[in-house]
Structure 1
Amino acid sequence: MLTRDRWIERASGLRHPAGVFLGGEFVQAEQSLPVFSPRANGLVAEVGAAGASQVDRAVLAARAAFGRWSRSGPRVRAAYLFRLAELIERDAESLALLISVEMGKPIREALDIEIPAVARTFRWYAELAGKEPGEVADTDPSALALVTRRPAGVVAAVTPWNFPLTMAAWKLAPALAAGNTVLLKPAEQSPLSALHLASLIAEAGFPDGVVSILNGPGPVTGAALGRHPGVDVLTFTGSTAVGREFLRYAADSNLKRVWLELGGKSPNLIFADAPDLAAAADTAAWAIFFNAGQMCTAGSRLLLHRPIAEEVLARLAERAADYRPGDPLDPTTRMGPLVSAKQRDAVRAHVDQAVGEGAELALGGTPDGLYFPPTVLTGVRPDQPVVREEVFGPVLSVLTFDTEEQAVELANDTGYGLAAAVWTADLGVAHRVSRRLRAGTVWVNCYEEGDESVPFGGIGLSGHGRDKSHHALDKFTDLTTTWIALP
């Protein structure tokens, strides 16, 4: 791992491709997009941004490439994905640095967590390509019924800034492995890493038009993709509010399928018989302070069994000191800044409102620039906005419960349904509670565990559809039934 001074030196010499990556090459953009780094809260670059006419050109290029790519065969497509994974690993330091600069992720976490996950995702779907079998239905003997999967066509993928390349890989890899062509629109806050990824896609030799990467503002570039009649499927990870807009765009255009992975308000339930209370408290701190709380799965609601509440809170306060905000280019930093002044103001408004409504500020609450400290609120009520709405910052709301029934009721008292966790040594409690929790993922005696083989996604306001695992292919394929009458 390089030193802080060396990372700063490398950041001062940042370079990025010009224009937008359209149809297999970088072309001059119609507009420009300023890039601000939260590290110093200043402008670090300007990149190209695609307008509506370039989105149209990209869709046409994707449509033209679709036939050749979908017929190329899974082994051919897998070879491209394997090559891209190798290039990502080769350029790991450069990609991690770009992520750290553009959105403030600590450099160690970008390098040790995000980039390996990106490479693993492309490699996993390369290995899966061609291994999803079709079906032979059990029909009347006078007919043969075959059910086959076919690629859906042109896919638009709109991704967030909190895990810019991980989310891109979760969309690109399964869609490409299944034989689709893809238009990727990264978040406007994190275009630098996407541009580098585009250069690696070109170096890997992907055929022209198979992948286009179109940076640009959501109301322009994202809306153009959402409304475009030439897009067959749109997959989006981001806020619930923007997800609703994409559903409207689909309704107003060609009724394209829209798959949404949205926000969360994940409950973390710790029972008095948790097998290791210290580990539970340490993990609860990580679950909310990792990535400065800017995670859809952040464990932002901590539900504590009353007998152990004080003990867990004391341990949590000790662990919060490990997440003191610092320079993201310092390898010792575990929590960097929030992504923008807008995000900082929104997080602070939630905290101030909660305190004004009677909550107790047990820890933190006052930012230093864009650096927001670990914040813990106690004495909150289940009906308060800070408990019900996604804050997307390092803010933990703590509630207590006395019975298993009350714990489940509190946990499910939300419109979101993305993730949850249960800490208990009682196998019966673990089974009963995990089955009753309304969430796409439930962790037992751990948090945020998993790999490429298991699906990820939610229900309710957290969206629908699944990323990761073979289930992700459902979003990007159509089922065709072929009914053959036998003589």
Structure 2
Amino acid sequence: MFEYAPAPESRSVVDIAGSYGLFIDGAFDGGKDGNVFKTVNPATEEVLAEVSAAGPEDVDRAVAAARRAFGPWSALPGAERAKYLFRIARIIQERSRELAVLESLDNGKPIKESRDVDLPLVAAHFFYYAGWADKLAYAGFGPDPRPIGVAGQVIPWNFPLLMLAWKIAPALATGNTVVLKPAETTPLSALFFADVCRQAELPPGVVNIVTGAGDTGAYLVQHPDVNKVAFTGSTEVGREIARAAAGTGKRLTLELGGKAANIVFDDAPIDQAVEGIVNGIFFNQGHVCCAGSRLLVQESVADELLASLKRRMATLRVGDPLDKNTDIGAINSAAQLARITELSEIGASEGAERWSPECTLPDRGFWFAPTIFTGVTQAHRIAREEIFGPVLSVLTFRTPEEAVAKANNTPYGLSAGIWTEKGSRILAVADKLRAGVVWANTFNKFDPASPFGGYKESGYGREGGRHGLEAYLA
């Protein structure tokens, strides 16, 4: 294994203030009740900033600002709205190094992921939907599609800035206005995005950012003047939101949990498959709703593949997210680390065989070594529940029919992967998988032009692509 000298990215490129207010009607101000919370760096537990917690009155003000802005914004020609989206995209590109460092500090993900994956995709989503803004009549939703109104959007902590882009870009392109609530543990990139909006001279009230915990999100999704709710997060919270929206006339899209099967057939290129497996489960510390957390490998190549996978895992570097050599960063929070630890211990107690490569974890912060479980059955909790961490459950199969049956034996249906050299097998198996996205001989590849979303307990509605416009058009 190579020894890598430290290659830290400089923190000096990002200037984090000591405290942040709410972004309402084009300006920052403190919450009416004065409540605040702290956001910490999960790699060091250092407090990064103090952030206002929005109460019901603050959410009312934000929704009112979005409602006032809706008329003028939706009346703009699509080409004029596109100019603002293009401007936002370019500013994000110009500030991408700063935003990538901020994202790694607040979230814990490796800088090479926030720099090379998250930020390019964020800019790409705004560029992509800017292109749609003056072409909505040709999108297949009728000759004169109209915006819905005020969108209340709640995003998770695993891809804070990317999920913001997935939500805000299509909403603005279609003429809606937005009140967005970022996750409590990762509010900073959304607050920096508010500054991007000011820099782009976006009209006040078109985008509003309210920070806080789950109760702030609940105020927002239940607000009577919100016309559209978009949520990405846990299935449990998604159910609560669906109940709250039922009968209100609110439009709703939910992108929830997953327990994706990554299926490796006996004719797959082993080394390529191993890279895809590693990317599928250890990318972003496994904090990915579409992570390939169940590996289904054909019995005849299981031993060879597992030996290769363990060799590859032994080379993964766990540590400082700001080090450019780091492969696996910090777990996002103490609460998430506790859940990953608990489910892993349950997996071992239920009889699965646990293995992790030797790695030294830092003394401070929230860390978990990359882990695989073999000897897993479909009855194991680690094979059924979303762990949302760097933990892989390995199951075997003998025939394609068995692989499909095991892959579909889950309450979720967000994504899947297939590894084989036969194109006919890819098409035949993909057709039978109940998953919103099926990757072939790759995993975790995203494109703004491609729709993303799930079935069953993974939610409903699609984000990205032409399909992503539909949720924001009446």
TM exceeds 0.5? yes
Which residue in 2 is equivalent to 1:271?
A: 265
Q: Aligned partners of 1:228 and 1:131: how far apart in 2?
A: 31
- Counterpart mapping for 1:82-481 below 5 A: 82-133=86-137, 147-219=143-215, 221-251=216-246, 254-274=248-268, 276-363=269-356, 370-478=366-474
CA apart distance, 1:111: 1.3
Name the counterpart of 1:141: none
Report if aligned partners of 2:276, 2:441 keep a CA contact under 8 Å in 1.
no
| Displacement of 1:202 | 1.0
Q: Do 1:364 and 1:376's aligned partners in 2 also have CA atoms closer than 8 Å?
A: no
SS at match of 1:372: coil
After TM superposition, the structure 1 stretch with the greater mean CA deviation from structure 2, 163-172 or 104-113, is 104-113
- SS of 2:49 mapped into structure 1: strand
User: Could you state the TM-score of these two structures normalised by the residue count of structure 1?
Assistant: 0.92
Answer whether contact 2:314 2:357 (CA < 8 A) is retained: no
Distance 1:283 1:76 in 2: 41
Q: 1:96: Cα distance to partner?
A: 0.9
1:50 and 2:64 matched: no
Bigger proportion of residues as strand: 1
Shift of 1:322: 3.1
Aligned counterpart, 2:3: none
- The residue type equivalent to 1:256 in the other structure is K
The residue identity in structure 1 corresponding to 2:10 is W
Conserved in 2, the CA contact under 8 Å of 1:289 and 1:323?
Answer: no
Q: Percent identical across equivalent pairs?
A: 45
CA distance in 1, matches of 2:45, 2:357: 21
Paired residue secondary structure (1:430): helix
2:76 corresponds to which residue?
72
For residues 435 and 8 of structure 2, what CA distance do their matches in structure 1 show? 43
Residue among 52, 60, 74 paired with 2:64 = 60
Contact kept in structure 2, 1:36 and 1:43, CA below 8 Å: yes
Equivalent residue letter for 1:392: F
Give per-residue Cα distances to partners, 1:193-226, cap 9 Å, x unaligned. Answer: 111100110111111111101111112x101111
Separation (CA, whole Å) in 1 of partners of 2:275 and 2:140: 50
Listed one character per residue, the Cα deviations across residues 165-217 of structure 1 (whole Å, up to 9, x for unaligned) are 11100110000000000111111111111111001101111111111011111
Mapped partners of 1:426, 1:119: distance in 2:
35
How far residue 470 of structure 1 moved from its aligned partner, in angstroms, is 1.1
Please identify, of 169-178 and 319-328, the stretch whose mean Cα deviation from structure 2 is larger: 319-328
Shift of 1:341: 1.1
Which residue identity does 1:7 align to in structure 2?
S
**Number of equivalenced pairs:** 464
Structure 2: segments with no counterpart, 5+ residues: 1-5
TM-score, normalization by structure 2: 0.94
Q: Which residue is equivalent to 1:24?
A: 26
Assess, with a 3 A threshold, how the Cα gap between structure 1 residues 18 and 87 changes in structure 2: closer, same or farther.
same
Code of the residue aligned with 1:76 in structure 2: it is E
**Equivalent residue number for residue 143 of structure 1:** none
- Range that drifts further, 197-206 or 42-51: 42-51
Q: Deviations over 1:293-340 (max 9, x none)?
A: 000011000000001001111111111123231100111111101001
Cα distance in 2 for residues equivalent to 1:322 and 1:197: 36
After superposition, the C-alpha distances for 1:264-317 in whole angstroms (9 at most, x for unaligned) are 00000000011x111101210111011100000110000000010011111111
Question: Conserved in 2, the CA contact under 8 Å of 1:351 and 1:365?
Answer: no
Letter of the 2:314 partner, please give it. A
Inter-CA distance 423–330: structure 2 relative to 1 (3 Å threshold): same
Distance between the aligned counterparts of 1:225 and 1:169, measured in 2? Answer: 19
C-alpha separation in 1, matches of 2:275 and 2:123:
29
Aligned-residue offset at 1:250: 1.4
Q: CA RMSD in A?
A: 1.9
Conserved 8 A contact 2:17-2:49: no
CA contact (8 A) 1:348 1:365 kept: no
Contact kept in structure 2, 1:159 and 1:238, CA below 8 Å:
yes
Higher Cα Rg, which structure: 1
How far apart in 1 are the matches of 2:424 and 2:211? 49
Per the alignment, in what secondary structure is the counterpart of residue 145 of structure 2? strand
CA distance in 1, matches of 2:320, 2:182: 24
Distance in 2 of aligned mates of 1:6 and 1:348 = 30
Report the equivalent of 1:481: none
Structure 1: distance between partners of 2:437 and 2:470: 18
Contact 1:16 1:195 in 2 (8 A): no
* Distance change in 2, residues 1:461/1:35 (3 Å): same
